[in-house]
Amino acid sequence: MRQQTKDILIRFDEFGSYETPTDFNSKEIKSNVSKLTNNLIDKFGVDFIVDDQIQDASFFCDIKLPHDLVINPKPQIGYSIRISNFGQLATINFETEYSKETVQAIINILDQNGFVYVSADELDEDYDGSFTDFYNLLGGETPSWGIRYFDYL
Residue range(s) defining the domain that contains residue 103: 3-150
Give SS3 for 142: coil
Separation in Å, CA 107 to CA 57, 81, 94, 104? 23, 10, 14, 5
Per-residue pLDDT of the chain (153 residues; tens, 9 = 90+): 999 999 999 999 999 999 999 999 999 999 999 999 999 999 999 999 999 999 999 999 999 999 999 999 998 899 999 999 999 999 999 999 999 999 999 999 999 999 999 999 999 999 999 998 998 888 878 999 999 999 999
The pLDDT, as a whole number, for residue 139 is 84
The pLDDT, as a whole number, for residue 138 is 86
User: Domain tally for the chain?
Assistant: 1
How many CB atoms are closer than 10 A to CB 117?
A: 19
Residues with Cβ within 8 Å of residue 82, at least 6 apart in sequence = 59, 61, 62, 63, 90, 91, 92, 93, 150
pTM metric for this prediction: 0.95
